[in-house]
Amino acid sequence: MISIVNVAKSYGKHKVLQDIHLEVPKGHVYALIGPSGAGKSTLIRAINALESIQQGEIVVDGLQVHHKTTDINKVRANIGFVFQSFNLYPHLTALENVSIAPVKVKKVNREEAEAKAKSLLSSLGLGEKISSYPGQLSGGQQQRVAIARALAMDPKVMLFDEPTSALDPEMVKEVLDAIRHLAATGMTMVVVTHEMGFAKEICNNIVFMAEGKIVEVAPPDQFFSNPQSDRARDFLSKVLEH
Ligand code: ADP
């Protein structure tokens, strides 16, 4: 579903992505983990062209994301992206936030889009909040609205960039539960996360990055019990100690 071949990106002399190769099969969940500054966010953002790349190729569901003849709207219609900071429209209700893109971009009729938005919001435990504005919702509720908004476009892939990092601790679980539920439906997903227990539980593979490179890709049992590189061992000893 996602194929990343020989991708590189630099800011001046600083190589933020180097020699990146990764294949994510349909229905699989991959976690991107690693120290701050490793390039995780740059990589996940490059998958739907929120970041440019200078070398290599990224293909999502058969479409070359960074090719100059590719219609980027077509690519993004297949990819749901959930940000750390929710990024909801503050002047729209939860229902409007979730239904606006299907109406404007996909030309779905409003009634149909709103019915679907209601059903998505209910399935995420927000049935009572459809008329609330983002400012009236907790961080965890806002992030679940953001997940519903992404799902409203019927994406083939969901990308999450540190979806729980901006949340108060008591709200982390409700968002992780929503992502866990989505994984169980067979959605293809890539998640940048610092939640090691969560990554271990739901991911098919852990992708460990450091200094712009993918250092290890391994199933969680293997990665957490027997990391192959010194870099990963060092990282794990720090985060697990913490
Ligand atoms: P991570 O998500 O693993 O913490 P990022 O992908 O955010 O890492 O950043 C990778 C590196 O790229 C960091 O060293 C960061 O400072 C650098 N970087 C990111 N965006 C820019 C930018 N717009 N200009 C210069 N450097 C940047």
Q: Quick one: 121 exposed, middle or buried, by C-beta within 10 A (0-12, 13-18, 19+)?
A: buried
pLDDT value, residue 169:
87
Q: Is residue 232 domain-shared with residue 214, that is, in the same domain?
A: yes
Is pLDDT above 90 for 240?
no
Is residue 177 in a domain? yes
Q: Is the CB of 39 under 6 A from ligand 1?
A: yes
- The mean pLDDT of 137-141, rounded to a whole number, is 96
pLDDT, the chain, mean: 95
Do 50 and 116 share a domain, yes or no? no
Alpha-carbon distance 214 to 70, whole Å? Answer: 27
Q: Are residues 160 and 233 in the same domain?
A: yes
Would you say residue 84 lies in a domain? Answer: no
Q: Which residue out of 7, 9, 10, 11 has the highest number of ligand 1 atoms within 8 Å of its CB and is therefore the one to mutate? A: 11
Closest CA to 132 of 91, 176, 173, 82: 91
Note whether 216 and 116 are same-domain residues: no
Q: Which residue has its alpha carbon closest to ligand 1 atom 21?
A: 11
**Is residue 173 assigned to a domain?**
yes
Domain that holds residue 19: 2-78+156-241
Residue 176, domain member (yes or no):
yes
**Residue 8: what residue type?**
A
- Ligand 1 pocket residue status of 44, Cβ below 6 Å: no
Token pair in block for residue 101:
């893109």
114/55 same-domain check? no
C-alpha span between 230 and 59 (Å, rounded): 31
pLDDT for the residue numbered 36? 94
Whether residues 135 and 43 fall in one domain: no
Shared-domain flag, residues 161 and 237: yes
Residue 242: pLDDT above 80? Answer: no
Claim to verify: residue 122 and residue 231 sit in the same structural domain: no
Among the atoms of ligand 1, which is closest to the Cα of residue 192?
Answer: 2
- Same domain membership, residue 225 and residue 135: no
Domain edge (last residue) among 105, 130, 154: 154
Task: Taking residues 30-38, report their average pLDDT.
Answer: 96
Same-domain status, 147 and 161: no
> Is 223 in the same domain as 172?
yes
Contacting residues for 51 by C-beta, under 8 A, at least 6 apart: 9, 42, 45
Q: pTM score, two decimals? A: 0.95
The structural domain count of the chain equals 2
CATH number at residue 211: 3.40.50.300
Residue 11 CB–ligand 1 contact under 6 Å: yes
